[in-house]
Structure 1
Amino acid sequence: MSTNTSENRGNRKLLIVGFIVILTSINGILLYMNYQKKEKNEEQAEIIKVKDVELENQIKVYEALKADFERQSQELQAMGLENDSLESQIAAITSDLEKLRGFRNSSYSLADQRKFRERAQVFEKQLIEKDREIAKLKEDNEVLFTENTSLKTTQNQLSDSLTTMKSTNQDLTEKVKLASRLEARNVSVNIINQRGKEKDDNDNEYRAKTVDKIKISFTLGQNDVAAKEPKTIYMRLIEPDGAALYNLATGSGTFQIDGEDMYYTAKRDIVFDNTQQQVSYVYDKNAAYKKGQHTIELYVDGFLIGRTTFVLK
């Protein structure tokens, strides 16, 4: 009886020890698995952090590119030049920026990183090329400005030499002003229909309902007296009722003729270079045109420089 009890106690101890060993082993395995999982989570967190940094850096690159292209656009506008290509590039960069910012709430893969990095490199090359073009344009404008300054200096010297002859000087000044008046030659009007097609009629007669926009074209005659400088051409579109078309939303305003305000329909800024340059621009009334005879009048420096008519039936 005593022997059996001792054996039972011994077996119980063995079972307890074995159970403890098993529990210890399980705990060790669980601890190891948790450690592995923690390491994996930390690794994934580090990868995400690196991607987030890369994403934010890429966003900053695109924001800087957009700012530079907008700066170029403003520089060209200041020189009175068209900048459609820059507007397209700004729109493309803006679209890419929206996509990049959208990755803040989604996966930003290595393929995405490579794609946007390569696109940024292309934009940077275009930016450098455009800066070179603008620098050349500024240099040309500087030459033009110097020539203009020289001409103005000559005119001032002539004016100073005639100050003792007031009446003669006033008469001469008026003659110079008249002589420097620009002339718009071969003024023509073509219509552009709703499909964007341009139509030219030798009789200047068109069907009113087909007109979406009008295109005014002319040549500035040679004038060696007129200064080579920026000029503003004011266009008045006089409708059949005799009133000039006026709409602030489409660029209308007022200018002065003989000290009095006059309404204009649209205006165009150019740099007169005395090369018999061709000038044209499109006007969009953004409304239906009236039937009857319309008159186009062109003004520069307070002078009427050209006129033509066309009929809408």
Structure 2
Amino acid sequence: MENNNSVVKAGLVLALAIAGFFGFLYFQEKQNVDEKSREIELKTSEIIQTNFRLDSIARELDIKISELAALGGRIDELEAIRKNLETDKRNLMHTNSVNMQEYQEKIKAYEKIIRQKEVEIEKLRAENEQLTGINKELNRTNASLKDSNDELQRQKMALADTVNLYAESNKQLNEKVTIGAALRPVNYLVTAINRKGKERDGDEFKSKRVDRIKVSFKLAENPLTKKEPKTIYMRLLEPTGNVIADMALGSGTFLFGGKETVYTAKQTVTYTNNLQTVDFVYDRDKKYEKGQYKVELYAEGFRVGQTTFVIK
């Protein structure tokens, strides 16, 4: 039970440490340039994954210690390894410079030890079964082992509670990583196109010179974003706040925040992580009224960007 309490306390400390760590990341993301933010997000993802693997190994070690103790095996070596693992976990979360390659080697070493102990445990079990068949005294020992197994089940239930705690924390962290991997439109450019095809860039246009509107932007580099097809939805809002939409011109609806949302136009692009340019050209069949228009961009369940322009 002391080991279980330690695991639960360690989980609480870890949850607080991760919450503080992401508070720091959030502050840094507001202060630093995009490149620094991406480096932090990538490093954080590596630390989270490594820490989760260490937690899994810790639970396996606890189980092996309990099993060895129940079978009469030596547990001093595993207990020492368990303490070293806790030290590695603390260093991972509190050391400024973390050598991830070193931690990968540590994880491989821990997993190898667990496999070796599994063989040892199976051997001890086989010996106990043989001795049980020929010795009545060991039959009484088996009754004691049953009690120990009951205790082990209770320990497993306690460990399961700890696993659920870590799973919830990991879910929250995965949600933050998902947000960090969202598309990031940058370098917006709005262009007015007249009937003759002449283009004019800017943020203010005369109504009589606007036949089509082109919205261009680049997709920022982000190593967390998968290189795969991405569907981008564009909503063009009038000064009144109404969405400009015409189903005959390709408008439709998509789910955002659990609700059906009308979009003006959409297109699917394959993200290449090289500041690729995306263009939306919208040909409206009526005059643009005077006022400020807003362009909103959505992708993968997030509103990823917006810009405005004025019709005079």
TM-score scaled by structure 2?
Answer: 0.47
**Higher CA-based Rg:** 1
